[in-house]
């Protein structure tokens, strides 16, 4: 199998020290723009975009993003090598810094389409897919996977999976440190019920020191993230916590993870969002398409509940705009 690997830039690998996980219905372009204002350094991911939607469905709007979002990665779902090759090329042409193949999503829809976590059982097919993706893709091609599925023994299958896919040219993996149970657990249950096995992911880094390995799953704070980095992993990916408490994670990330100066305050982030909101409304969009991602900005702060409630009750109204956001901000006693 010919190796077409694009190893990625040092800047991209540095950004991948902390990333926000791809999350369906959550990490859309509005969410990513908002997150980028809080952290200039963190690697951001799209929601999973299926290769058939791009190649057969012509849904090119799924590739839309703002230039300010860089560094940003496109996550693809699929299992047809030729289709993924086309989709990866489209993503690279759109300017994404990285194209990631989903080998971890446990939903029924994913199983029926033979992509996502079910591909853990077919490492040779994954290798063929990523080889094709690299053939015409200027962006780095990476893989996000689980430690195994169903009755697989992770200690056995994960090294075989990594070796097979790495032989096709992939040098960067994000490993969700849980099995996916495709029989008997819902997608939601798969995020919490299978036990975490962090030590296995650390053993994979020790076994394959030349690979860039990030860990994902159950990491809710930067304090949780640091031990993984200090023990040798190359990156940490945080999902739901980065969405529900974005400032707690991303607001401190630039200083603590990347050694940069302090970023904007929560209040400054709100004001910096206003021109983006105005442009979205002018283009025919609705306020709540953006503000639904901002509800957790003041999590843990005085007035957080009032902020959430005001936006939840008013952002969907006809004519709601920046003044609605400022009225919500006024609910914060000492916005900071």
Query: Comparing C-alpha atoms, which of 322, 331, 321 is closest to residue 297?
Result: 331
| Domains of the chain, earliest start first | 10-258 (3.20.20.70), 266-330 (1.20.120.1460)
SS3 state at 143: strand
* Residue 105 is among the residues annotated as catalytic for this protein: yes
pLDDT the model gives residue 170: 98
Query: What CA–CA distance (Å, rounded) separates 247 from 332?
Result: 15
List of residues 6+ apart from 287 with CB closer than 8 A: 277, 281, 315, 316, 320, 321, 324, 325
Segments of the chain with pLDDT less than 70: 1-7, 107-113, 335-336
Q: Select which of 31, 105, 137, 145 is catalytic.
A: 105
Q: pLDDT tens digit string along 300-331?
A: 999 999 999 999 999 999 999 999 999 999 99
Q: Residues 167, 172, 177, 181: is their CA dihedral positive or negative?
A: negative
User: Residue 112: its pLDDT value, please?
Assistant: 55
Q: Which residues are annotated binding-site positions for FMN?
A: 22-24, 75, 144, 176, 216-218, 239-240
* CA 254/CA 256 separation, integer angstroms: 6
Cα 300 to the center of its chain, rounded Å: 24
């Amino acid at each position: 199998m010919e190796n077409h690997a694009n190893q990625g830039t040092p800047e991209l690998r540095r950004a991948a020290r902390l990333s926000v996980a791809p999350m369906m219905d959550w990490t859309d372009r509005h969410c990513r723009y908002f997150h980028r204002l809080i952290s200039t350094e963190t690697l951001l991911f799209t929601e999973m975009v299926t290769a058939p939607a791009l190649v057969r469905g012509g849904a090119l709007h799924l590739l839309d993003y703002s230039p300010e979002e860089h560094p940003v990665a496109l996550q693809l779902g699929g299992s047809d090598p030729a289709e993924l090759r086309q989709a990866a090329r489209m993503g690279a042409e759109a300017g994404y810094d990285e194209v990631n193949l989903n080998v971890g999503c446990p939903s029924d829809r994913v199983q029926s389409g033979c992509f996502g976590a079910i591909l853990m059982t077919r490492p040779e097919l994954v290798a063929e897919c990523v080889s094709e993706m690299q053939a015409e893709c200027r962006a780095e091609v990476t893989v996000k996977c689980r430690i195994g599925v169903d009755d697989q023994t992770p200690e056995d299958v994960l090294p075989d999976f990594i070796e097979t896919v790495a032989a096709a040219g992939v040098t960067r993996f994000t490993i969700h440190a849980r099995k996916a149970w495709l029989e008997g657990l819902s997608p939601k249950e798969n995020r919490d019920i299978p036990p975490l096995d962090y030590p296995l992911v650390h053993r994979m880094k020790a076994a394959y020191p030349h690979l860039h390995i990030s860990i994902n799953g159950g990491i809710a704070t930067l304090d949780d993230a640091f031990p993984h980095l200090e023990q040798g992993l190359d990156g940490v990916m945080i999902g739901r916590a980065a969405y529900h408490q974005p400032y707690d994670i991303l607001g401190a990330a630039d200083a603590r993870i990347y050694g940069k100066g302090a970023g904007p305050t929560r209040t400054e982030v709100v004001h910096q969002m206003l021109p983006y909101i105005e442009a979205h409304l002018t283009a025919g969009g609705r306020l709540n398409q953006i503000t639904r991602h901002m509800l957790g900005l003041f999590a843990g702060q005085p007035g957080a509940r009032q902020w959430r409630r005001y936006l939840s009750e008013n952002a969907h109204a006809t004519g709601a705009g920046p003044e609605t956001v400022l009225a919500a901000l006024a609910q914060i006693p000492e916005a900071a």
